[in-house]
């Protein structure tokens, strides 16, 4: 397969999402943890929907998937292109007793466990771009979006969205403003269905929610490091009104990006920051929902 090629059968029909098939593929523990599973044919954004539901009392363990999104979002309000049946659009709501400030590192957790899921089904050469992009061959395969609400001292509501390009035709991705790839190309063909993939991702997220609640970010840092795409590279950090250059030293214990700059080591949390390689074009599309 040559770089940039597309595995696409114009006559192939997408595998539609099916709640019973997803639930049957979950581990027993994950099945018990899901309080509610919703599948929508069309929705504005699965993350936005669950944030609305959370405000009206939706329980921890509410899971929402969609066949397509009309207003899918990435980080910094950027759009996430969401054609019908071509990708995985999944969001899960989880509740914690801790304050919102304690949950920011979960963006890294989600990226690490999703990358690990894809590696276990045969995807090789995956990489994570801090804080939440999933790459293959420096092309965008997926992303995560973390949204948190709650009281200053707790409790908190966490909604994590995951988007993975599964099997997209070239014309479906024409509006994406950066190089992209789908799982069919990464795996050399459509070797895993969307229902199976949804169950694997949900299972991994539930396990991560529970472990993060007990142990925090620390036990996930080694997994993140296995996929770290930028460690040792020269980069630019772009803010609204300035730019900082340096070499990536890795991730700190709290999830901050460690950067070796002309002024010494500096640390940055995600916020309104964009990370670019020194030679990378300034394109958007970070994050996911």
Residues involved in catalysis: 75, 140, 276
135 contacts 126 by C-beta, under 8 angstroms = yes
105 contacts 267 by C-beta, under 8 angstroms = no
């Amino acid at each position: 397969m040559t770089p940039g090629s597309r595995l696409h059968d114009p006559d192939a029909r997408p595998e539609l999402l099916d709640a019973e098939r997803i639930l049957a593929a979950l581990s027993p523990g994950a099945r018990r943890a899901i309080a509610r599973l919703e599948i929508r044919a069309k929705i504005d954004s699965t993350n936005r929907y669950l944030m609305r539901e959370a405000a009206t009392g939706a329980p921890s363990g509410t899971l929402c998937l969609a066949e397509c999104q009309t207003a899918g979002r990435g980080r910094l309000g950027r759009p996430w292109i969401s054609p019908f049946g071509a990708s995985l659009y999944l969001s899960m709501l989880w509740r914690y007793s801790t304050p919102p400030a304690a949950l920011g590192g979960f963006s890294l957790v989600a990226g690490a466990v999703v990358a690990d899921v894809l590696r276990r089904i045969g995807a090789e050469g995956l990489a994570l771009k801090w804080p939440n992009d999933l790459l293959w061959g420096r092309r965008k395969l997926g992303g995560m979006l973390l949204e948190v609400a709650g009281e200053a001292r707790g409790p908190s509501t966490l909604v994590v969205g995951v988007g993975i390009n599964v099997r997209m035709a070239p014309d479906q991705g024409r509006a994406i403003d950066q190089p992209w790839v789908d799982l069919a190309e990464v795996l050399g063909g459509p070797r895993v269905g969307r229902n199976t993939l949804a169950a694997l991702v949900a299972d991994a997220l539930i396990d991560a929610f529970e472990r993060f609640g007990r142990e925090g970010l620390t036990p996930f840092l080694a997994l993140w490091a296995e996929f770290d795409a930028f460690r040792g590279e020269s980069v630019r950090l772009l803010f609204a009104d300035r730019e900082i250059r340096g070499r990536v030293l890795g991730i700190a214990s709290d999830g901050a990006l460690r950067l070796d700059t002309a002024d010494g080591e500096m640390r940055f949390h995600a916020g309104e920051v964009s990370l670019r390689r020194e030679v990378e074009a300034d394109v958007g599309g970070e994050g996911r929902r």
